[in-house]
Amino acid sequence: MDKILEGLVSSSHPLPVKQVIVRRVVESAETPLSQAQCRAMFALSTRLILQGPDPFQRQVGWQVLEAYARFHRDEFEAFFNRGLVLGLLQRGYGGLGSRDPAILDYVQAGLRLIISCPSVLELFALLQVEALRMVCERPAPPLCARLCQLLGDFPQCLPRGRKLSLAFCQQLVRSMAHFQSQGSREPELRLYVSQVTQVSGLLRSIWKAEPDTLLPSLQELFAVISSTDTSFEPSVALASLVQHIPLQMITVLIRSLTTDPNVKDASMTQALCRMIDWLSWPLAQHVETWVIALLKGLAAVQKFTILIDVTLLKIELVFNRLWFPLVRPGALAVLSHMLLSFQHSPEAFHLLVPHVVNLVHSFKNNGLPSSAAFLVQLTELIHCMMYHYSGFPELYEPILEAIKELPKPSEEKIKLILNQSAWTSQSSSLPSCLSRFSGKSETGKTGLVNLGNTCYMNSVIQALFMATDFRRHVLSLNLNGCNSLMRKLQHLFAFLAHTQREAYAPRIFFEASRPPWFTPRSQQDCSEYLRFLLDRLHEEERTLKALSSAKPSENMMSSESLAQETASKAQVFTETPCTGGEERTLIEKMFGGKLQTSICCLNCKSTSQKEEAFTDLSLAFCPPTSLENVDMRSITHSSEVKDDCMVQTSIVASSPVEESALDTSLAVSDGCQTVRNEGILNDLLPAELSSENITDSDLYRVQDSKNVSQKPVSENTPSVTDLLNYFLAPEILNGDNKYYCEKCASLQNAEKIMQIMEEPEYLILTLLRFSYDPKCHIRRKILDNVSLPLILELPVKRTASSLGVVSKGWSVDVEFSDTGENLAKKLKPSGAEEVCCPELVPYVLSSVVVHSGISSESGHYYSYARNITGSGPSLGLCHQSKTMALASHGRLLAGEISHAVIENDLDANEMSKEWFLFNDSRVTFTSFQSVQKITSRFPKDTAYVLLYKKQNCSNGFNANSANGLWVNGDPPLQKELMDAITKDNKLYLQEQELSARTQALQAASASCSFRPNGFDDNDPPGSCGPTGGGGGGGFSTIGRLVF
């Protein structure tokens, strides 16, 4: 029969004829045959299967083998024995090599046919050994996949015993590392992927059945991908294993890898780079999860060198994977993490900038829903990076144009994303015996290192830095080549904005800005330092402007180099366009105001006026009786009326008729509007309240509706409004303080009135808390609590003349260093008076510098501050200041708008505002309620210096610039400054890494802890110096001392 069949299949008869005869041969298998005949049929069918030249012969071989083996099982069991199987697996069959997958196909078919025979157990044992041998020989993907299919169908053939099973898994991982695709066409790639999937599926089954083999297999996997042998590159097929690793093991595995001292940096770098390459594998799941987990783990142990190298090496490859839909989600997740965590330098982001526009346009054009969703995510990422690295308009302008129609995330969301993503923000899962070398706090703000009782400087600098418009002006100055104090301030501001350090040490700026009479390493007055600093900056800029305007003839004796230096200095304070007078210095524009002092002789009624500049107002504490007189003023006054456009701001009715007609609190607005609507005013106000009964001093008072009550004010906590009222209240000069009137040519009683003529952009108020005690020869501190209004309205006298000059008979000598304490001195006779128009200018609290202690020579300074821009939360305050004039009953002309309503609105908005507590190196979130309650909770911690921001109808400084490229509102930094910051950030990361390695080596014996950042609502914010000043009710620890 075997001879007939062999001749038939090799004959030239038609195929249908052959098929009919083959069918009869197969049917004859049911007839009894001798052992020799069966063996001959088995040998022939085996030869046809393994060596058949065409599919027909191989098909015939399978049909005959299965038919005869089914009806002659004993004979087939004897034929399909250990010797045959071993020979096939080790030597092959005829010209067919042992590594041909057809051999395994034949073996698997034979096992299936004798599965119920006792001899199959012997074959299982044989295959357990042969399977391990085969994987050790690094089979090609087709053979390995076929072997895994056989082992999957017959798990009895898997190596048994923990040692052999573990060895098999490890060797199979090694074999997968050698896999290579046999072609680049899609069918070939699909076949390759299916083969790899078959192998990884077998490993998954083994890991599930024997969990003890999982961790050693992963260790082998890491050993393969971390190899630094350049002659061998592991296959990306290893990515298929990641999806079979339980996600619950991430924490344990990553911690084990990142803290293992035996894993060298070069090996870890190689492993991470190859894992990133795995993003190319189309069907692997969770690869991005493991990559991001490893990146975070390395950041947690401060191995920043690895992170920097890997990011710069692989960022472009990850970006290119965004073009492929199958791997796009994972690639975008890894790309987002890499970019958002790489915050010390724009280098990584700028590698991708040239490719962004093409990618955006490509996905806009295909119109697929998945592409639209992807573009939204990519746009958010791009906005975050341009926000963090503003200052490259030539790079970002094409990108902004390409994504202008896509949603833009809010600034709050961008800040949150950046703060959570930085390497220095990654939480560490290491034991607590290892110190955490944190970067910026969760606030995203940078602290200032206390250099030895320098908290007075730190608190002032942080308050100035948080003055948004001032900071932006400073950062926008072109100061290259200049070694001025302003340049050093710009450098300090830039580092506070962009450094990765938790706290920056301002040594250079401290040495340059410290007043000469300040003793180093001793506590000083922050108000005195602030006044000195602003004066220095002002005088410096004025000097440089004078040099720039000097005529060339005046420099005839100068060398050519000196002339060039002078010419360069002429451009030192060139800014981006901003409003305001060109001749004014930056300090004048931001903090400068004008105060007019008028002295009226009560005998001859002549008036003398003097106008002087100020940068801050020093507010003294008024006696209770004085405060009561100021706030509870009667309608009548000893002074005569000077102008017809006066409107009273705070009135106490002197008769029952008046009390029933008007509320005790009246509002005021633009006095010029009052003049234009004089008829309306006369209709609204009773005869008793006509303009003839209103004094000039009544007009220029501050309104604070929250603190007005029917009971005497002395029973309440005084507010800043009360202190400002007291400052501006009329003063009678009599007795030993009489005024010498030139017209009367004698000493006369007089009334002195101070009026603000020009308001500053930032109003600095210093509360005069330190009074000199002649008995003890020390400056004692006034610990009275003062209420801090969120909104403050400053009364400003507007002259009808557009020139706004002082009276003709006066020569105004404006000295910028003058303060508001001695403004009545050196007064000269005045000429004619001018019609004035009062206006209440609204201000919102920006920052508060707090002094903790009982004297100016000791204690500690810290500050509260928040971000307020020029266009800030006005809530109609600008409009109100111009339309709430003629106020009667607080609501008549304001459309039911009152100060209380506005403050309530602002308080509601406080939930979306961020208040920060700057305490030297430590920066934490806080709230306005904490600012208000600080003295009531800690009696020795009192507000000392306040910064209020004027609420303009339009921002005086264009935060977005003309081309809209200042994404984060701050102007772009010059390249020299950005390079310095980038260099320092890299140095900082290296320092962190070195410290972490040192700590890891000492972990066995080290024991330390750290206090996490958080809200400062339960502990006093801090002290400075060994004495501490007792701020915060006696709380003092070593951590609060400055050494």
Is residue 425 within 8 A of residue 417, CB to CB? The reply is: no
User: In this predicted structure, what is the pLDDT of residue 410?
Assistant: 87
> Which amino acid does the sequence have at 235?
S
**Regions of the chain with pLDDT less than 50:** 427-438, 551-553, 555-581, 627-714, 801-835, 870-902, 908-912, 955-967, 1004-1020, 1022, 1025-1043
* DSSP per-residue codes, 781-824: E-----B--SEEEEEEEEESSSS-PPPTT------TT--TTSTT
State how far the Cα of 338 lies from the Cα of 54, in Å rounded to an integer: 55
State how far the Cα of 420 lies from the Cα of 809, in Å rounded to an integer: 63
Query: What is residue 1034's DSSP assignment?
Result: S
Q: What does the buried/exposed string (b/e) look like for 221-235 if buried means 16 or more CB atoms within 10 Å of the residue's CB? A: bbbbbbbeeeeeebb
State how far the Cα of 846 lies from the Cα of 115, in Å rounded to an integer: 85
State how far the Cα of 929 lies from the Cα of 907, in Å rounded to an integer: 10
Place of tokens 């009782």: 453
Task: Kindly report, residue by residue over 596-649, the tens digit of the pLDDT.
Answer: 999 999 999 898 989 999 999 999 887 765 544 444 333 333 333 333 333 333
Q: Helices marked H in 185-303 — which ranges?
A: 186-209, 214-225, 250-259, 265-277, 287-300
User: To 10 degrees, what angle do helices 975-1001 and 485-498 make?
Assistant: 50
Task: Kindly report, residue by residue over 225-275, the tens digit of the pLDDT.
Answer: 988 888 889 998 998 888 888 888 888 888 888 888 888 888 999 999 989
Inter-CA distances, 475 with 136, 472, 583, 788, 938, Å: 65, 5, 20, 30, 37
> How large a percentage of the chain has pLDDT more than 70?
71
What would the 3-class secondary structure string for 186-209 be? HHHHHHHHHHHHHHHHHHHHHHHH
Task: Kindly report, residue by residue over 111-156, the tens digit of the pLDDT.
Answer: 999 888 888 899 999 999 999 999 999 999 999 999 999 999 999 9
The residues near 158 (Cβ < 8 Å, ≥ 6 apart) are 128, 131, 151, 165, 168, 206
Annotated catalytic residue 860: yes
* Pairing verdict, β 860-866 and 836-852: antiparallel
User: In this predicted structure, what is the pLDDT of residue 391?
Assistant: 63
- Residues making up the chain, counted from first to last: 1043
The residues near 67 (Cβ < 8 Å, ≥ 6 apart) are 26, 29
Count of Cβ atoms closer than 10 Å to residue 713 Cβ: 21
> Which amino acid does the sequence have at 1019?
D
Q: Which of 637, 763, 772, 771 is nearest to 702 (CA)?
A: 763
Query: What is residue 984's DSSP assignment?
Result: H
State how far the Cα of 440 lies from the Cα of 446, in Å rounded to an integer: 6
* Pairing verdict, β 447-448 and 503-504: parallel
User: In this predicted structure, what is the pLDDT of residue 649?
Assistant: 30
State how far the Cα of 502 lies from the Cα of 923, in Å rounded to an integer: 9
Kindly compute the dihedral angle of the four CA atoms of residues 140, 142, 148, 149, in this order, to the nearest 10 degrees: -170
Place of tokens 């200032």: 448
Beta strands per DSSP E along 832-875: 836-852, 860-866
Q: Helices marked H in 619-695 — which ranges?
A: 624-631, 656-661, 671-676, 678-684
Q: Which two tokens stand for residue 7?
A: 């001749």
State how far the Cα of 84 lies from the Cα of 113, in Å rounded to an integer: 15
Q: Which of 798, 792, 868 is nearest to 594 (CA)?
A: 798
Q: Which two tokens stand for residue 357?
A: 């526009």
State how far the Cα of 18 lies from the Cα of 950, in Å rounded to an integer: 102
380 phi and psi angles, rounded to 5 deg? -60, -45
Q: Which two tokens stand for residue 889?
A: 């009953």
Q: Which two tokens stand for residue 918?
A: 């700057």
Place of tokens 């052999």: 164
Kindly compute the dihedral angle of the four CA atoms of residues 103, 107, 112, 118, in this order, to the nearest 10 degrees: 170
Name the region of 886 (left: φ>0; alpha: ψ -120 to 50; beta: rest): left
State how far the Cα of 778 lies from the Cα of 772, in Å rounded to an integer: 6
User: Among 38, 148, 157, 455, which one carries the catalytic annotation?
Assistant: 455
Place of tokens 């082992």: 151
Annotated catalytic residue 455: yes
User: Among 337, 473, 860, 899, which one carries the catalytic annotation?
Assistant: 860
Is residue 60 within 8 A of residue 46, CB to CB? The reply is: no
Query: What is residue 665's DSSP assignment?
Result: B
Q: Which two tokens stand for residue 121?
A: 């157990």
- CA torsion through residues 718, 721, 726, 727, sign: positive
> Which amino acid does the sequence have at 582?
E
State how far the Cα of 336 lies from the Cα of 313, in Å rounded to an integer: 16
State how far the Cα of 90 lies from the Cα of 81, in Å rounded to an integer: 14
Report helix, strand or coil for 861.
Answer: strand
> What pTM was estimated for this model as a whole?
0.57
State how far the Cα of 137 lies from the Cα of 18, in Å rounded to an integer: 42
Q: What does the buried/exposed string (b/e) look like for 977-989 if buried means 16 or more CB atoms within 10 Å of the residue's CB? A: bbebbbebbbebb
State how far the Cα of 994 lies from the Cα of 987, in Å rounded to an integer: 11
Question: Hey, which residues does 422 pair with through a beta bridge?
Answer: none
The residues near 880 (Cβ < 8 Å, ≥ 6 apart) are 669, 842, 894, 897, 902
Kindly compute the dihedral angle of the four CA atoms of residues 954, 958, 964, 966, in this order, to the nearest 10 degrees: -130
